[in-house]
Each structure stands twice: as C-alpha cells, then as structure tokens.
C-alpha cells in the first residue's frame, strides 16, 4: 500500500503495543483564536514511567503544525535537540521528567477535513477522535496517556461570545481589543481524543438533572439561535438517559455540567468529549414540524449513546485503537437497551438486526472484513465500522444472554469499578464478567475472546429428529466459520434461545428435567446434540429468538414451517424473521427464474408468504401495528445481495416488486381500513403507540400506491396539505416521488419552497430524490449536484445526495453501462481532496463488486484503477485497495 507521497503505508500491529515511556501528569493549554490563524501554547508535565528504561525517549505526535517555540523545563530548545519525522517528534533529553512548553500555529479556517480544530460558518470546534489532537498541538496523542486538563481560550468577544471546553468553567474575563477569555478545568484524567473546544456565537437551552446521590447537574444544549426551538427532545432524552444509566448500570454523572453543542459540519453522528459532547445537528435537533419519527428516534439514541460513553469510554477508556470495540460495541449495546426501554422493544430489536444482517454481514463477507478486535490497521479512521460497532454490540448482548441480566450487571459493576480512570483492553472486560460471576476467568476469557478475534460470520446448521414413539426430539447444531476466519478457526460460544411451535401454538418441552416453553442452549463445540422430551407433536423450531447470536442459520424449513412461525410463534421477533426468511426465499427463487429466462415466472406462483400474511395481517394491524408495518417491508436489495453468490440488481428488484405485489394484493381492503384511521393527521406525539400507528399508515400508503396509484396519490396530496408534522409530509412526498405518481414534481417544488431555509429538511428533500428507485435518478442526481443548495463541504449534504445514491439506490447505482459508478468515482475524487474521512466512507459502496457480473465488475475496476492512479488520501486509498 502507498500513501499520497508514494511511501509504503505503515501497518500498525496490536502485537507491537508498547506502554508509553512517559506519563503525563497535567496538561495546560492556551488558545489564542485570531481571525486568520490560531496559536496554541501547551505546558505538559511529564514523568518517566516506572517501567521505562533510563535512556527512554519522549515521543510526541504532531501533524500540520507550524512550530513556533519549544522549551524543556524553561530552557529553549532548537531543532537540533529533537527529531521530527512523519508525525513523530522525539526528544532524548527528558530524563526523569519535566515540563515541555510549546507554541504552535494552526489554520482552522483551512481545515476542511473536519479533524483537529476547524472553523465553519464562524464556529470554532474540535474533533479529536481518533488522532485529531496532534493537529492541534504536539502531544502524546494516544489513548493510554491520560491527564487532567486546564484550558484557556481567548477570542474576539463579539464573534465568539461563547467559549467552551471540558469540565468546569473556573474563571472568565475581558482583555484588550474587544477580546475575552475563559478558563476551564477538567479534574478527570482523560486521553487527548476526548478533548474539546468550542467557540462561537451560540444560543443555549438550559435545564438540570439531580443525580441519585442528590447532586445538581446543569444541562446545556448550544445551537445556532434559530435552532433553539428544536432542543426539547434532546434535553428530555438526555435526562432519561441519565436516569436510566443510574438505574440499569449504577452509573452516575461526575461533573457539575453536561454540555451538548450542535454543529452543521461534522463527519460523524456525534462525539463523547468529556462533559462537552459535539453533535452533528442531525443527531440533536428535533421538532415535529421538521423531523420525522425516525429522526426523533435517532436523536434519542445518539444523545443516550454519547452520554453512556461517560462511563463506557471516558471513565474507563481504551488502551489503544485496537480496543475500539471495548467502548463502542458495549456502548451501542447500552443505547440499544435504552431505546428498547423507551419505545417498542421488538421493533428496536428487529431494526437493529435487519441493519446488522444487511450491512455488517456484507462487510464480514466482503473485501473489508475484519475482526471486532483487529490485529492490524493502516488508517484508524477506516475502523469506525459496522463490525466494531454493531457486531461488537452483539457480543456484549450474547454475554448478557449467557450471564443473565443480573450476572451481566455484576460483571459491568466489576469492570467500571476495577478499571475506573484507566485505559483497558477487551480481556479486562471479559475478565470482569467472569470474576464477578465466580467463573473460571482463564477459560472464560479465552473462549469469548474468539468472538473478538475471528472475522467472518459463523454458520450454524440445524438438524432435528423427532421420535414419535418416545416423544423425543434430538437437536443437533453444527458450527462452521467462514473462510474469512483466521487459519485455524476455533469454536465459538453461541447462545441459542429456542422454542417449539406446534400446530396450535407454542409447546412446552423438557430438557434435562426442566420443563419450559423456551430453553437457552450454548453451542460451544463444533457439533453438539440435545434431547428434548415431552415433545407431543412434530414441532417447528423457533430458533435464535430475538437473534440470540450474530450467525447465519442453515435449517431445512419448508414454506409451511415458516408460515407456521409467522402465524403462531409467541416470540414476535421470530414471527418477523420467519416472514423475512420466507420473503427472501421467494424473491431469490423468482429472480433466479428471471435470470434463467424461465417465462413461467411471469405467471405469479402461489406465494406462501402472501397467504400467511393475508391470514394474520388485519388482526396484527390492529393489535401490533408496528409489527404489521414491518411485515410489509420486504428485505431490501442490500440485504438480498448478501444472500446470493451473484448479485443481479435488476432481476432482484423485479422479483422483489413482484412478491411485494402478491403480498399486498389480498390486503387492499385492510390497507384501506388502516388509512381510514388518519392517525397520520393527528398532532404529533412521541410515543411507541403513536409512532406505530403512523408507521403502519405510511406502509399502507406505499402499498396502495402499487395497487391503486390514483387513490394513493390523492391521499398523499391530502397529507401534504393537512400535514401536522414532518412524518406525514415526508411519507407523502416519498410515496409520490418513489412511485412517480402524478403531482410528484409539483410536490417537490412546493416542499423545497417551504423548507429551503431548514438545512436538515433540505437534506431529506435531496435524499428522497437521490434514492428514487429508477434508472433516471442518475440524471436527477447530476442535476442535484449542480443545485445552488448543494454544498460539497457539508458532510450531511454530501451523504444526502451522493451517499443515498451510492448506498440506497441499487437500481440506479448499478446501471449496466457503469454510469452510476462513474458518477460516484468522480465525486469521490473531489471530496477526498477536502475530506478524506468522508470520501473513504463513501468509497465503501464499491465493496460489493466481487458479487456483480463481469461487465459491472469491469466497469468498477476501471473506475477504481483511475482513482488509485491519482492523488488520494491514505484513508480512501486503503478502502479502495
Ligand atoms: N466516538 C463517536 C461515537 O461513536 C464516533 C466518532 C468517531 C466521532 C470518530 C467522530 C470521530 O460516539
Ligand atoms: Zn460511540
């Protein structure tokens, strides 16, 4: 691999980890924010580590810095006194320790990568994870060096009335020339990636929270003045998260203040800097008029996620970036649990699982596959992946299933207590889980560690034999690891929650003398068998309930078996997953017929899925509307593409539409009944019930658009006219545009005129068009890229247009002529020059290439060769290579 300068890119290995030779006792920072540039002075008090050799060298990191001066314990140094290569600055004269004073100049206005200190639209803000702090000052920028911080910010008072950093504000004052300053002190030792600074003209919403031990915490949400009316939901979510973490994990907040700042230019969702979270506006602002249900839920989840990091990530941090899953996987699991408690647990779970199966499974099966704890990396920014986050969360969930809620809590208590203030590794987490539950730690850690070390998605094969005469069922499970796995894959501990579904419903059975409707097995060997007694009839197995392990299941289910689960399983998640499996099967079979030119395929065959759904749907729409809505959302092309060896987007799309039509055709009157309720036109309430009612109506409208487009268009227009909130407006607009119904263009124009002043709504407007599933969308996207409101420096806008097209519009992206790829490649090159992190993420859209037909592969490879032969960042180069 090559970097932009042509030298071989450096691969960093976990096995090479070395503890720092110098620890840092305290960090003192002084920022002079001056219009064109910024000067940063730092005083760092170092001490040689007890374990370090006498001749230890002090190694700091610095990138894109103009070094103005360096002094060691008061003595000025010159360039001869140190070595500075690539990003490494080394000083051999540090002895037992001392104070390093540095002064550097940086240029926040020119920083379009949005890493380090940057200024956009007048607002200064920082993003330091993972390695951004080295762009602010020379520093031991690694997560295992923790120190207390004292930060002074000096800036122009008129343009930057608000000056924020981590911790508590201890002093403020005015200085000359209309400038002012503020000093912040963070008493909790932290690594540099959790540092934050914000300066600008912001308004604030204040509230408070009283912790379980009675301490009053000031809560503040900073935004542009015009967005202050969109902060209530984030504030309520924050308070709910704070209470929840006390109750569920015994985690109490530890500073007097908790601040959230909304910024419009941000590469990711949000960042958990200690006491001063920085958020993408899309993850904090919410108002019924401008935000959909999905948007509200995202805000709630991300606010909670960042808050939960205060313990899982900040109080206990990561020793090195190989341990990223330690904070991210665990925290995602925590935010998933929280969201499940706020709204509908089943809907939360099936959305999380569909997301994992669609995107993480594909990542694990493609060229970018890696372990949850990888052994090596080139560019750490490329490792903020679905595998680390989502699969990491599934591992935490399996531990929770395996140990039980109380056992898991004992383990997390032990972990937070033992490693508080430290930088930990995955083994520490597993060790706590074992020790707190009286298990053999050595065996437990080595067994569970396999989940973190082996890439690829395990496959579990199922075989069951029922003996009528003795009413016994013998279940045999076999696990195999994908070929992506390490050379000698080892068996994983796989929790299997299962039940048995008979002709009339759930059966109770006995395992080792325990009689129950549901059993928990742990598959630990390559192959294992279990005997269930009192099995009175041949059952259908309801396996991996609530998706108890992130595996692919190979089982010989007949259509009738899956239909039986859809009708009768007591586990709602598995009812849904059976419908998903049956839909997948029917769509793939039909697509195969299209591909082989079998003309009988034009005569719709009996659909077992349609029959099963027809039987339950009306009742379900009344009793569990959220689940009813989900049952009609057939697997996406992205999901289906992961299920096939050869991906033919056209055939799959056609087959999917055909099956969908079969499913909804018998439901026409049921859809009418749902739509007649007009829940969509009631005032906005954020509750599980209200969201479920709206979601089933939105799905019903989408279904109706396929059966009676005129009637659907009329309803959509009615919603647009009467819409009391964005959920109705967006559902109506999407239906009109995606089904190309009459009036779609006028509706787009009217929507634009109404919302052009709201960036987040405008993002939706762009995204709705860029994801319209027709070939013509490519031309529309070309036009959108030339639109006066398209701004390639705003990541949200780039994702709304380019990201939607590349990742959420397979029909147009996979244009047979390769024009979709060409469009994306051209955009990638332009974006990469400014913002490598953003470009690299978009480049992931090409990850599917190996599954495409030869002609599409050739188109993609041509584009990739073109890109790789030019100037590219190391981020994007690594992804594309
Ligand atoms: N740590 C952030 C989170 O998941 C994500 C992030 C990573 C943000 C890197 C910015 C840069 O909560
Ligand atoms: Zn996180």
Q: What is the mean pLDDT of residues 365-376?
A: 95
| DSSP bridge pairs for 124 | 119, 199
| C-beta of 131 in contact with ligand 1 (< 6 A) | no
| DSSP bridge pairs for 866 | none
CA of 764 to the centre of ligand 2 (A): 24
Closest listed ligand to the CA of 321: 1
**pLDDT > 90? residue 6:** no
Pull the structure tokens for residue 105. 């100049």
Nearest ligand 1 atom to alpha carbon 309:
12
Closest listed ligand to the CA of 127: 1
| DSSP bridge pairs for 171 | 183
Q: Look at the alpha carbons of 757, 763, 769, 772 in this order and tell me if their dihedral is positive or negative.
A: negative
| DSSP bridge pairs for 126 | 117
* pLDDT attached to residue 669: 97
Nearest ligand 1 atom to alpha carbon 306:
12
Closest listed ligand to the CA of 196: 1
CA of 676 to the centre of ligand 2 (A): 42
| C-beta of 304 in contact with ligand 1 (< 6 A) | no
Burial of 185 (0-12, 13-18, 19+ CB in 10 A): middle
CA of 29 to the centre of ligand 1 (A): 23
| C-beta of 271 in contact with ligand 1 (< 6 A) | yes
Q: Whose CA is nearest to atom 6 of ligand 1?
A: 271
pLDDT digits (tens, 9 = 90+) for 191-213: 999 999 999 999 999 999 999 99
CA of 325 to the centre of ligand 2 (A): 9
Residues whose CB is less than 8 angstroms from the CB of residue 336 and which lie 6 or more positions away in sequence, other chains included: 301, 348, 349, 352, 393, 397
Chain center to CA of 33: 33
| C-beta of 379 in contact with ligand 1 (< 6 A) | no
How many CB atoms are closer than 10 A to CB 299?
A: 24
Pull the structure tokens for residue 484. 């992506």
| C-beta of 306 in contact with ligand 1 (< 6 A) | yes
486, 489, 492, 494: CA torsion to nearest 10 = 90
| Count of positions (residues) in the chain | 881
State how far the alpha carbon of 119 is from the alpha carbons of 127, 200, 277, 352, in Å: 11, 9, 17, 35
Nearest ligand 1 atom to alpha carbon 115:
11
Q: Give the span between the Cα atoms of 104 and 62, in whole angstroms.
A: 10
- Could you give the 3-state DSSP secondary structure of residue 461? strand
Q: Give the span between the Cα atoms of 297 and 73, in whole angstroms.
A: 52
CA of 714 to the centre of ligand 2 (A): 43
Assign residue 471 a region: left if phi > 0, alpha if psi is -120 to 50, beta otherwise? left
pLDDT digits (tens, 9 = 90+) for 291-321: 999 999 999 999 999 999 999 999 999 999 9
In sequence order, what DSSP letters do the residues of 644-696 get, joined into one string? -SS--HHHHHHHHHHHHHHHHGGGHHHHHHHHHT-GGGSPP--SHHHHHHHHH
CA of 283 to the centre of ligand 1 (A): 12
Active-site entry in 220, 306, 697, 729: 306
Q: What percent of the chain has pLDDT over 90?
A: 96
Residue with tokens 């049952």: 631
Q: Give the span between the Cα atoms of 155 and 753, in whole angstroms.
A: 38
For the chain, the distance separating the N- and C-terminal CA atoms, rounded to the nearest angstrom, is 8
Q: Are 226 and 217 in contact (CB under 8 A)?
A: no
| DSSP bridge pairs for 836 | none
Residues whose CB is less than 8 angstroms from the CB of residue 75 and which lie 6 or more positions away in sequence, other chains included: none
| C-beta of 815 in contact with ligand 1 (< 6 A) | no
Q: What is the mean pLDDT of residues 557-583?
A: 97
Chain center to CA of 223: 23
pLDDT digits (tens, 9 = 90+) for 592-633: 999 888 756 555 678 999 999 999 999 999 999 999 999 999
Question: Residue 130: is the preceding peptide bond cis (ω within 30°)?
Answer: yes
Nearest ligand 1 atom to alpha carbon 267:
10
SS3 content of the chain, % helix, strand, coil (to 5): 45, 25, 30
Q: Are 680 and 694 in contact (CB under 8 A)?
A: yes
Answer yes or no: 129 catalytic: no
pLDDT digits (tens, 9 = 90+) for 162-182: 999 999 999 999 999 999 999
Nearest ligand 1 atom to alpha carbon 266:
10
Q: Give the span between the Cα atoms of 302 and 308, in whole angstroms.
A: 10
Q: What is the mean pLDDT of residues 283-289?
A: 98
| C-beta of 162 in contact with ligand 1 (< 6 A) | no
Q: Supply the ipTM of this predicted assembly.
A: 0.99
Would the pTM count as exceeding 0.95? yes
Q: Give the span between the Cα atoms of 652 and 657, in whole angstroms.
A: 9
Q: Are 436 and 333 in contact (CB under 8 A)?
A: no
CA of 317 to the centre of ligand 1 (A): 13
Pocket test residue of 195, 384, 836 for ligand 1, highest count of atoms within 8 A of CB: 384
Q: Whose CA is nearest to atom 8 of ligand 1?
A: 271
Q: What is the mean pLDDT of residues 564-568?
A: 97
State how far the alpha carbon of 237 is from the alpha carbons of 171, 208, 209, 306, in Å: 30, 13, 12, 11
CA of 331 to the centre of ligand 2 (A): 6
| C-beta of 115 in contact with ligand 1 (< 6 A) | no
Q: What is the mean pLDDT of residues 330-338?
A: 99
| C-beta of 107 in contact with ligand 1 (< 6 A) | no
| C-beta of 127 in contact with ligand 1 (< 6 A) | yes
Helix (H) or strand (E) holding 37: strand 37-48
Pull the structure tokens for residue 14. 């976990």
Which of residues 485 and 731 earns the better pLDDT score? Answer: 731
Nearest ligand 1 atom to alpha carbon 332:
4
Burial of 79 (0-12, 13-18, 19+ CB in 10 A): exposed
Q: Are 472 and 533 in contact (CB under 8 A)?
A: yes
CA of 443 to the centre of ligand 1 (A): 33
Closest listed ligand to the CA of 113: 1
Closest to 291 (Cα-Cα) out of 731, 747, 727: 727
Pocket test residue of 129, 192, 195, 265 for ligand 1, highest count of atoms within 8 A of CB: 129
Q: What is the mean pLDDT of residues 424-440?
A: 98
Q: Whose CA is nearest to atom 9 of ligand 1?
A: 129
Pocket test residue of 271, 325, 335, 377 for ligand 1, highest count of atoms within 8 A of CB: 271
Pull the structure tokens for residue 368. 């970018």
Q: Give the span between the Cα atoms of 104 and 135, in whole angstroms.
A: 10
**pLDDT > 90? residue 4:** no
DSSP state of 600: G
Report phi then psi at 300, rounded to 5: -60, -45
- Could you give the 3-state DSSP secondary structure of residue 314? coil
| C-beta of 126 in contact with ligand 1 (< 6 A) | no
Q: Give the span between the Cα atoms of 284 and 202, in whole angstroms.
A: 15
Q: Are 836 and 64 in contact (CB under 8 A)?
A: no
Pull the structure tokens for residue 524. 């630990």
pLDDT digits (tens, 9 = 90+) for 671-686: 999 999 999 999 999 9
pLDDT digits (tens, 9 = 90+) for 826-857: 999 999 999 999 999 999 999 999 999 999 99
Residues whose CB is less than 8 angstroms from the CB of residue 322 and which lie 6 or more positions away in sequence, other chains included: 14, 17, 373, 374, 375, 377
Q: Give the span between the Cα atoms of 865 and 440, in whole angstroms.
A: 52
How many CB atoms are closer than 10 A to CB 404?
A: 12
CA of 332 to the centre of ligand 2 (A): 7
| C-beta of 384 in contact with ligand 1 (< 6 A) | yes
| C-beta of 129 in contact with ligand 1 (< 6 A) | yes
**pLDDT > 70? residue 654:** yes
Confidence of residue 7 (pLDDT cuts 50, 70, 90): very low
């Amino acid at each position: 691999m090559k970097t932009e300068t042509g030298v071989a890119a450096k691969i960093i290995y976990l096995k090479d980890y070395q503890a720092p030779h110098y620890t840092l006792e305290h960090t003192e920072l002084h920022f002079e924010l001056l219009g064109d540039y910024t000067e940063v002075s730092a005083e760092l008090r170092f001490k040689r580590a007890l374990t370090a050799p006498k001749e230890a060298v002090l190694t700091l990191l610095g990138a894109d810095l103009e070094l103005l001066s360096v002094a060691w314990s008061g003595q000025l140094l010159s360039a001869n006194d140190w070595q500075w290569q690539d990003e490494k600055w080394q000083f051999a004269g540090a002895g037992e320790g001392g104070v390093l004073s540095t002064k550097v100049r940086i240029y926040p206005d020119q920083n379009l990568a949005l890493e380090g200190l940057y200024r956009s639209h007048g607002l200064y803000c920082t993003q330091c994870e993972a390695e951004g702090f080295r762009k602010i000052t020379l520093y031991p920028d690694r997560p295992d060096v923790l120190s207390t911080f004292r930060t002074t910010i000096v800036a122009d008072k008129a343009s930057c009335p608000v000056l924020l950093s981590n911790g508590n504000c201890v002093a403020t004052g005015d200085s000359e020339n209309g400038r002012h300053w503020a000093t912040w002190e963070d008493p909790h030792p932290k690594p540099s990636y959790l540092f934050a600074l914000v300066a600008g003209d912001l308004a604030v919403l204040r509230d408070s929270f009283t912790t379980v031990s009675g301490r009053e915490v000031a809560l503040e949400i900073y935004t542009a003045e015009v967005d202050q009316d969109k902060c209530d939901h984030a504030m309520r979510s924050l308070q709910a998260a704070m209470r929840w973490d006390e109750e569920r994990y015994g985690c109490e907040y530890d500073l007097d203040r908790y601040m959230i700042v909304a910024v419009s230019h941000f590469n990711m969702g949000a960042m958990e800097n200690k006491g001063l979270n920085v958020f993408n506006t899309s993850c904090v602002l919410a108002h019924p008029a401008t935000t959909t249900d999905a948007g509200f839920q995202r805000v709630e989840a991300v606010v909670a996620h960042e808050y939960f990091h205060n313990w899982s990530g900040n109080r206990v941090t990561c020793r090195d970036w190989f341990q990223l899953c330690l904070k991210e996987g665990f925290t995602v699991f925590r935010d998933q649990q929280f969201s499940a408690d706020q709204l509908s647990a089943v809907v939360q779970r099936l959305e999380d699982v569909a997301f994992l199966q669609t995107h993480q499974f594909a990542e694990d099966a493609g060229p970018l596959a890696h372990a949850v704890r990888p052994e090596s990396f080139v560019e750490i920014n490329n490792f903020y992946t679905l595998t680390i986050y989502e699969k990491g969360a599934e591992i935490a969930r399996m531990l929770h299933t395996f140990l039980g809620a109380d056992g898991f809590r004992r383990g997390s208590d032990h972990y937070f207590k033992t490693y508080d203030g430290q930088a930990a590794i995955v083994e520490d987490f597993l060790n706590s889980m074992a020790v707190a539950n009286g298990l053999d730690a050595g065996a437990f850690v080595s067994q569970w560690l396999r989940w973190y070390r082996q890439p690829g998605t395990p496959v579990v094969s199922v075989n069951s034999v029922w003996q009528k005469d003795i009413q016994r069922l013998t279940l045999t499970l076999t696990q195999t690891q994908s070929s992506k796995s390490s050379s000698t894959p080892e068996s994983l501990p796989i929790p299997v929650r299962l039940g048995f579904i008979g002709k009339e419903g759930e059966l109770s059975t006995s395992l080792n003398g325990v009689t129950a409707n549901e059993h928990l097995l742990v598959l630990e060997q390559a192959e294992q068998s279990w005997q269930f007694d009192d099995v009175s009839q041949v059952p259908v197995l309801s396996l991996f309930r609530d998706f108890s392990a992130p595996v692919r299941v190979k089982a010989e289910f007949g259509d009738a078996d899956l239909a039986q689960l859809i009708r009768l399983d007591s586990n709602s998640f598995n009812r849904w997953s059976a419908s998903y499996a049956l839909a997948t099967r029917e769509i793939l079979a039909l697509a195969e017929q299209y591909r082989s030119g079998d003309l009988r395929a034009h005569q719709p065959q009996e659909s077992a899925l349609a029959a099963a759904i027809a039987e339950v749907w009306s009742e379900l729409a009344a009793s569990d509307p959220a689940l009813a809505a989900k049952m009609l959302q057939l697997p996406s092309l992205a999901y289906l593409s992961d299920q096939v060896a050869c991906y033919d987007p056209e055939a799959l799309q056609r087959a999917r539409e055909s099956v969908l039509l079969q499913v909804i055709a018998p439901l026409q009157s049921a859809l009418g009944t749902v739509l007649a309720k007009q829940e969509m036109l009631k005032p906005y309430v954020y509750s599980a019930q209200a969201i479920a009612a709206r979601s089933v109506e939105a799905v019903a409208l989408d279904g109706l658009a396929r059966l009676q487009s005129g009637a659907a268009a009329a309803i959509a227009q009615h919603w647009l006219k009467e819409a009391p909130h964005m959920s109705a407006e967006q559902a109506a607009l999407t239906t009109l545009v995606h089904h190309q119904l009459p009036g779609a263009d006028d509706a787009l124009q009217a929507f634009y005129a109404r919302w052009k002043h709201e960036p987040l709504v405008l993002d939706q407007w762009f995204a709705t068009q860029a994801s319209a599933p027709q070939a013509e969308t490519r031309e529309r996207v070309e036009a959108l890229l030339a639109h006066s409101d398209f701004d390639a420096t705003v990541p949200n806008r780039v994702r709304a247009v380019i990201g939607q097209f590349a990742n959420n519009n397979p029909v147009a992206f996979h244009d047979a002529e390769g024009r979709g790829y060409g469009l994306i490649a051209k955009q990638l090159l332009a974006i990469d020059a400014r913002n490598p992190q953003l470009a690299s993420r978009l480049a992931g859209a090409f990850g599917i290439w190996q599954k495409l037909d030869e002609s599409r592969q050739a188109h993609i490879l041509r584009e990739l060769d073109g890109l790789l032969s030019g100037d590219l960042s190391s981020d994007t180069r690594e992804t594309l290579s």
